[in-house]
Chain A
Amino acid sequence: MKILVCISQAPDTTSRIAFTNEGKTFDSTGVQYIVNPYDEWYALVRGIELKEAHGGTVTTITVGGAVCDPVIRKALAIGADDAIRVDAEPTDAMQTAQLIASVAKSQAFDLILCGKETIDHNGSMVPAMVAELLDWPFIALATHLEVEGNTASLKRESAGGTEHVKVNLPLVLSASKGLAEQRIPNMRGIMSARSKPLNIEPGEAAALSSVRQFSLPPEKGACKIIPADQAEELIRLLREEAKAI
């Protein structure tokens, strides 16, 4: 099975979020970048597990500049075989999806795994856009995936529950919690990642949207502390002051 996993970098969850250039640019000063958790924990690890069970290869693809190389090496250390970086600075999901789809079209993948969204733009658009550009089936928010021959059996989050779905390969999915468990790379993985191929390809596509302005939410007011023996006072405040119940 030939598997492609889409990997994005994202600011570490604990990063301070700030903007420069009058709120037009994310301030990356001092920001530690990580592999986007949904890409790493769920999509990549499930891809590697399927390769271990059925044979084949796991290739990662990332759209971005050389600044992404450390997170790509991390993905290789976890167990991907090789990596592609499309050397472009994407502005929106459509641009990223087109760049990924054009690489996918040139190679015969059976399965494309993506995280359900990145934790910076929270877009959740690239996976289904790639599916449409390739005219492949798409499963959003997949929590379970097994492959038997040419058929994939999946579970996906749906209104009020979990749907079981059967799809023939090839297939694109977006991964949600449950698809796999996080894997910590071992020393051998980290050493071998250095010599695994990271192929850089040029790419060009148009964006259809852009961020005009970032802003920060207003500061929360101070927390109102209610004494533990006056719990009923909290319920009164929730009804009369906050009007929440």
Chain B
Amino acid sequence: MSVLAIVSLKNGQPTKGGLEAASYAAAFAKAQGQDAVALVAGAMTSDGGLGATGIDRVLHFSTELSDSSQWTRLAEAASKECGASTVVLSHDHTGRAIGPRLAVRLQAGMVSGVTELPRDGAVRKNVFSGKAMADVEVSTNAVVYSVTPNAFGVREGGSEAEASPFAAEVGEAREHVTGFDLASADGQTPLPEADLVVSAGRGLKGPENWGIVEDLANALGATTACSRPVSDIGWRPHHEHVGQTGITIRPNLYIAAGISGAIQHLAGVNQSKVIVVINTDPEAPFFKAADYGIVGDAFEVLPKLTAAVKALDA
């Protein structure tokens, strides 16, 4: 018996979501006295660092796959090969495209967006956009879990895993990737994976003022984000919009400047571990959800924070 992690690769390395899925699978396998096996597809050298997360064995399919049906067939074959009744993925695009397909093929109950290891036969996930939690139980022996990004974290300290080639009949590709646009040219961590996020809203008064936001983000090594109104009026790109109808994030630190904190915005950021709010209005609802607050003008406060961060590292 084993627990199987589906790990996606980017530039020959496991993605952060993939490492989190591997860490979760390894911790769960250990608790059950089972082996932890990771499945990867595409170019990767040795164990790709998966052993460090606690994975025992890596099944390496040599061809990169982007088709959800092909991935599903590969994962199904791998789960049979290693006798896995539990399959773990990241709740990113892989968990949304491959996980549910695999659950159908394996006749498995699936719980998406889990945040903790299963306990007493149930597993916890966030519901109502982070406003509540649900403990979900699955009635089948086979189970698929997708793990919320930045919730469980990446475990380290394990020893190198044994990697072996894995082959399976995956059928024809029907979803053909023809191009790729990088979200940000400057090498920022993608928002869903970011540990540190600096975000700003209409309080910044115009797109030409974003320099002070970017300066603080650069000093911290953070990713920039924005509120919905700001992306709707075109001050910032859509992919920076965090909130109910944009991206949901869960960083260690979320700094929001000039954002009042409408409930739709909070729904996308309320799972951040530490929230800092900078707003001129002391009555801004966002302060109620914040850990730290500064009542003040972003134009004055942000440069001071940037200077303080630089002084810290000097």
A residues lining the B interface (CB < 8 Å): 11, 13-14, 17, 19, 37-38, 41, 92-94, 97, 116, 119-129, 131-133, 135, 137-141, 143, 155-168, 174, 177-178, 207-217, 220-221, 223-228, 231-232, 234-239, 242, 244-245
Contacts and interface: CB of A to CB of B under 8 A. Distances in A.
A19 B132 CA distance: 10
Interface in B235-289: 238-239, 241, 244-246, 252-253, 263-264, 267, 273-274, 276-277, 287-289
B180 A209 contact: no
B304 A209 contact: no
Summarize B's interface: helix, strand, loop or mixed.
mixed
5 contacts: A94-B104, A137-B68, A214-B135, A223-B277, A245-B253
Nearest to B128: A17
Contact of A159 (B93, B274, B311, B312): B93
A131 B104 CA distance: 10
Interface residues of B, number: 94
Given A131-B68, A159-B190, A167-B175, A220 B103 contact: no
B205 interface: no
Given A129-B104, A238-B276, A214 B295 contact: no
Interface of B: 8, 10, 15, 17, 66-69, 72, 91-93, 95-101, 103-105, 107-113, 122, 125-140, 174-183, 190, 196, 220, 238-239, 241, 244-246, 252-253, 263-264, 267, 273-274, 276-277, 287-297, 300-301, 304-305, 307-309, 311-312
B139 A220 contact: no
B270 to A, nearest CB: 8
Contacts of B68: 128, 131, 137-138, 140
Summarize A's interface: helix, strand, loop or mixed.
mixed
Contacts of A224: 291-293
A132 B177 contact: no
